[in-house]
């Protein structure tokens, strides 16, 4: 098959065909063991000969090499076109990953605070319920005079010294009508 392509090239009248034959003969042995863009064919020769010659066999090494280079350039162009969007997506992914990590940490902190507040509120509601019941007991006990405990009378007095109590008695008549107070404080 190789002889057939050489004859076609030798019989061709153009100058570039002779250049191609010389390049083909020198690079055929080198290209047989190499692959990719590091071939020994010059760029100028490669650009001059981008199409198979007329009558050249499709299975010849030169045609295969040309098809391989064309496919390599096409794939490199496609990969280069995909690299820019891919790097943008990767940078967005890194930003979003760090943001998600920060949000997860903040969410964990908020959940900890919420559980602490729920525990605190449950203890406060128990205290509030017991305070209400204690207040109700004292109010009802005040209405039942005299109070007694183990047969002894209990008197509940405000924590004022005797002098303050006597001074307050002087103005009690003037204060009570002016200041609206709950009825349970007057008894």
Question: Tens digits of per-residue pLDDT, 119-162?
Answer: 888 888 777 778 888 888 888 877 777 777 888 887 776 677 88
Mean pLDDT value across residues 54-83: 86
**pLDDT above 70: residue 181:** no
Q: What is the pLDDT of residue 40?
A: 42
Enumerate the domain spans of the chain: 2-78
SS3 for the chain is CHHHHHHHHHHCCCHHHHHHHHHHHHHHHHHCCCCCCCCCCCHHHHHHCCCCCCCCCCCCHHHHHHHHHHHHHHHHHHHHHHHHHHHHHHHHHHHHHHHHHHHHHHHHHHHHHHHHHHHHHHHHHHHHHHHHHHHHHHHHHHHCCCEEECCEEECCCCCCCHHHHHHHHHHHHHHHHHCCCCHHHHC
């Amino acid at each position: 098959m190789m002889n057939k392509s050489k004859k076609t090239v030798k019989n061709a009248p153009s100058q570039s065909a002779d250049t191609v034959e010389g390049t083909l003969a020198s690079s055929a042995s080198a290209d047989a063991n190499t692959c990719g863009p590091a071939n020994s064919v010059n760029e100028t020769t490669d650009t001059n000969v981008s199409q198979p010659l007329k009558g050249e066999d499709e299975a010849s090494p030169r045609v295969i090499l040309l098809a391989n280079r064309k496919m390599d350039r096409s794939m490199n162009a496609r990969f280069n076109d995909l690299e820019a969007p891919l790097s943008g997506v990767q940078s967005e992914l890194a930003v979003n990953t760090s943001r998600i990590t920060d949000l997860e940490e903040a969410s964990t902190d908020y959940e900890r605070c919420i559980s602490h507040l729920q525990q605190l509120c449950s203890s406060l509601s128990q205290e509030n319920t017991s305070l209400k019941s204690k207040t109700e007991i004292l109010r009802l006990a005040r209405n039942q005079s005299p109070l007694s405990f183990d047969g002894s009378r209990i008197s509940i007095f405000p924590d004022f010294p005797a002098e303050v109590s006597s001074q307050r008695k002087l103005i009690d008549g003037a204060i009570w009508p002016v200041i609206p107070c709950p009825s349970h404080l007057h008894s």
